[in-house]
Amino acid sequence: MTAIIDAANAFIWGKALVYLLLGVGAYFTVRTGFIQFRHLGHLFAVMRRSGRTEHGGISSFGAFATGLAGRVGTGNVAGVAIALTVGGPGAVFWMWIVALVGMATSFVENTLAQLYKVREEGGTFRGGPAYYMARGLRARWMGVVFSVFLILSFGFIFNAVQANSMSDALHTAFGFPRAACGLVIIALAGLVIFGGVRRIAHFAEAVVPAMAVAYFAVALVVVLNNAAAIPGVIALVVRSAFGLEQAAAGGMAYAVSQALMQGVRRGLFSNEAGMGSSPNAAAAAEVKHPAAQGFVQMLGVFTDTIVICTCTAAIILLSGAMEPGGELTGVPLTQAALSAEVGTWGTVFVAIILQFFAFTSIVANYYFGETSVRFLTGRPQALPVFRLMVLGVTMLGAVATLQIVWNAADLSMGFMALTNLVAILLLSPVAFKVMRDYVGQLGRGVEPVFDAAKFPELEGSIERDVW
């Protein structure tokens, strides 16, 4: 079983998804007229007015924070360090590329999630890939397949992975028993997830910006202390991305391959653009035009990879803690790098920030899974059972390491991403038309408002009491 799973992962993550993600992202970038570059300033304008709701839903910023909570996790600390040690400094360059083109992919999938969302009791909204597959493509079977993959990977196993990282960091830094750590984690997680989508959104709004700013501030200190070395590090990243650093040793092709694969894989793990996870949060937002949330979620990809992942890369590369062939990798490498720059408290700081990164991911991952459970069952009565199952698996992850289970989660996520990419490619003409409507109103100097009457082809696919 291990050999089969590893072989499937090698194909999906080593070949299929790398080229498909980059290809789809490049295609959407061109078809949207390079929307992530032309309207970069507008992302922040939308965010500034995204805190208002009128009908009991959650705010656009709340949905953004929930989506970012899912994106920002151990991958931003451990994943970047692994990408650097396996793929070399050039992996950072390809993480940037996959994020930049992934912003266009994120715009499309999150706009579609908003467009095909449904209203629930209490005035909240729900939607995501399963819903636009069922309503937009008229392919409920496709939504069922996607939901199963999402529940397995995000709903269960990735939460176990996050809990494992949390308990391991606390045990290493402070000597706390892993079982005790697990009990605290599930108790706190239970307080949040049993409060429903509004409590999850309010929690994310309060915690996610604070932890991102704190990590950025510490990284900025490291960057300013090593300002003279920055041009050399940037040159090293670019040279390594194209194998120029290794050309003299005759390993150019292999170096480029490793940098590319690690950068794309870790970039996707981190920002999740095209994977179909963040649209579950995006659909819950109350906005006046579906494309507005597409713009907001593009900023989530930018924040996760261009800002937070770059912070980790800068700390490691500027510190000189990463040695060729060295044994340090993952979280210990990031801790050693920061400690070399700011002193021994750097190790404790990384351990603490990792707790916040991982815990917010657990909460957001649960909500992604909840949306899929609601899609499959159509009954809120199933949610308490699902919540208890999530907490149970999270507790298991805190005390056990089952590598085959983690590898199976990678495979499940790979299939989930493939399913979502096919769906958004098929539905992209609708997203492009919605985008043109939004940009056209923006060009006339008015706040864009969606008018379903302009889209007669959507009759019967979207809910009229929503739009």
pLDDT per position as a tens digit, 437-459: 999 999 898 889 999 989 999 98
Domain that holds residue 403: 53-323+338-458
With b for 16 or more beta-carbon neighbours within 10 A and e for fewer, the 126-160 pattern comes to bbbbbbbbbbbbebeebbbbbbbbbbbbbbbbbbb
Could you report the per-residue pLDDT of 225-281, keeping only the tens digit for each? 888 888 888 888 888 888 665 554 445 665 667 777 777 777 777 777 888 888 998
Bridge partners of residue 119, in order along the sequence: 125
Catalogue the long-range contacts made by 257-261 (C-beta closer than 8 Å, 24 or more residues apart).
258/86, 258/87, 258/88, 258/91, 259/87, 259/88, 259/90, 259/91, 259/93, 259/94, 260/18, 260/87, 260/90, 260/94, 261/13, 261/14, 261/18, 261/87
Please tell me the predicted confidence (pLDDT) of residue 422.
94
- Specify if 224 maps to a domain: yes
Least confident of 64-68, 315-319, 347-351, 454-458: 64-68
Please tell me the predicted confidence (pLDDT) of residue 183.
93
> Does residue 126 register a pLDDT over 80?
yes
- 32 token code pair: 């949207």
- Specify if 208 maps to a domain: yes
Least confident of 90-99, 177-186, 315-324, 418-427: 315-324
- 262 token code pair: 């690690």
Can you tell me which residue has the tokens 């799973």? 5
Higher pLDDT, 321 or 33: 33
- Specify if 228 maps to a domain: yes
Q: Give the burial class of 281: count Cβ atoms within 10 A of its Cβ; 0-12 exposed, 13-18 middle, 19 or more buried.
A: buried
- Specify if 7 maps to a domain: no
- Specify if 15 maps to a domain: no
> Does residue 132 register a pLDDT over 70?
yes
Give the whole-angstrom CA distance, residue 54 versus residue 287: 9
Can you tell me which residue has the tokens 């991305």? 241
- Specify if 218 maps to a domain: yes
| Total count of domains within the chain | 1
Please tell me the predicted confidence (pLDDT) of residue 64.
80
Q: pTM here?
A: 0.88
Please tell me the predicted confidence (pLDDT) of residue 420.
94
From 33, 464, 29, 46, select the one nearest 282 (Cα to Cα): 46
pLDDT-derived band at 54 (thresholds 50, 70, 90) equals low
Please tell me the predicted confidence (pLDDT) of residue 176.
85
Q: Which residues contact 374 (CB under 8 A, 6 or more apart)?
A: 126, 380, 382, 383
pLDDT-derived band at 76 (thresholds 50, 70, 90) equals confident
Please tell me the predicted confidence (pLDDT) of residue 53.
56
Q: Please state the rounded mean pLDDT for residues 203-221.
A: 86
Percent of the residues in the chain that have a pLDDT greater than 90, as a whole number: 23
pLDDT-derived band at 334 (thresholds 50, 70, 90) equals confident
Give the whole-angstrom CA distance, residue 302 versus residue 13: 22
Q: Which residues contact 241 (CB under 8 A, 6 or more apart)?
A: 89, 90, 91, 92, 93, 94, 256, 259, 260, 263
> Does residue 324 register a pLDDT over 80?
no
Phi, psi of 218 (to 5 degrees): -65, -40
- Specify if 437 maps to a domain: yes
- Specify if 19 maps to a domain: no
Please tell me the predicted confidence (pLDDT) of residue 326.
67
Neighbours of 378 (CB within 10 A): 8
- 106 token code pair: 């994120």
User: To the nearest whole number, what is the mean pLDDT of the chain?
Assistant: 84
Neighbours of 68 (CB within 10 A): 25
Please tell me the predicted confidence (pLDDT) of residue 50.
62
Give the whole-angstrom CA distance, residue 273 versus residue 264: 11
How many residues belong to the chain? 467
From 144, 140, 74, 78, select the one nearest 328 (Cα to Cα): 78
pLDDT-derived band at 328 (thresholds 50, 70, 90) equals confident
Q: Give the burial class of 443: count Cβ atoms within 10 A of its Cβ; 0-12 exposed, 13-18 middle, 19 or more buried.
A: exposed
Can you tell me which residue has the tokens 């200190």? 221
Q: Is 401 left (phi over 0), alpha (psi -120 to 50) or beta?
A: beta
Q: Are 61 and 205 in contact (CB under 8 A)?
A: yes
Least confident of 35-44, 65-74, 228-237: 65-74
CATH number at residue 126: 1.10.4160
pLDDT-derived band at 393 (thresholds 50, 70, 90) equals confident
Q: Judging by DSSP bridges, how do beta strands 118-119 and 125-126 pair with one another?
A: antiparallel
Please tell me the predicted confidence (pLDDT) of residue 51.
58
